[in-house]
Structure 1
Amino acid sequence: MPFKLLITLFLTLSVAQVSGQGKADSLKNRLSVSRSDTNKVWLLRDIAYYSLSEYPDSSVYFGMRGATLARSLGFTRGEIRNLYQVALGYERQELADSAVQIYKRAIHLAEASQDGKAKVDMLSSLGVSFYYSGNFPDAVRYYSQAYTAADSLGYFDQQGYILNNMGVIYRMQGQYEKALEVYTKSLRLKEQHGDRGGVVNSLYNIGLAYSFLEQFERSLEALLRAREEAKLLEGTELDLANIDVGIGVAYYNLGHLKEARTFLESGLMDLGEKESYTRAAGLGYLGALDVEDGFHQSGFAKIDEAYRYAKKANRLELLLQISRERALAADKAGNEALAASSWRAYSSLADSLRSRDLRQLREEMQARFELKDKEMTIVGQQWKIEHELSRNRRMLAAALVFLLFALVCGVLAVMLRKRATQLKLAVAAKDKALSDNELLIREMHHRTKNNLQLLRSVFNLHRRGTQNEDARNVLQSGSESVEAIGLLHHHLYRQGDFRKVDICAYLDELVNYFKRAFSLQERGIDFQLVCPELKLDIDVAIPLGIVINELSTNALKYAFQDDSSGRILLQINQEGNHLNLILSDNGRGFGHESSENGTGSKLVELFSKKLGANLSRTSDENGTLVRLEFELPPDA
Structure 2
Amino acid sequence: MVGITNTYESRTEDKTRLLLKFNYVSSILSVLFAFLCIYFLNIHGPIPYVFFLYSIFNLLNSLVFKKHGNLTVMALTTTLLSLVSTFIITIYSGGINSPFIFILSIIVLAGYVSTRFFGKVYLYIVLMIIILIYVMGFFQLDFITNQIPSESQNIFSLASVLFGVYLLGNIFGRDLIKAHHKLYKSKSELENRIVEKEMLLREVHHRVKNNLQTISSLLNLQSKYSANEQVKELLGSCQTRVLSMAMIHEMLYMKDNLSKIDFKPYVQELVKYLMKSANKKNVNISVNIDIPDIMLGIDTAIPLGLLINEAVTNSLKYGYDKNDVGQIDIILKKQEDMGMYTLEISDDGVGFSHKLDFKKANSLGLKLIHNLARQLRSSIERDFSKKGTNYSISFQDKDKHFKPTT
Relative to the length of structure 1, the TM-score reads: 0.33
Structure 1 or 2: larger helix share?
1
Structure number with higher relative contact order (C-alpha < 8 Å, ≥ 6 residues apart): 2
Relative to the length of structure 2, the TM-score reads: 0.50
Larger Rg: 2
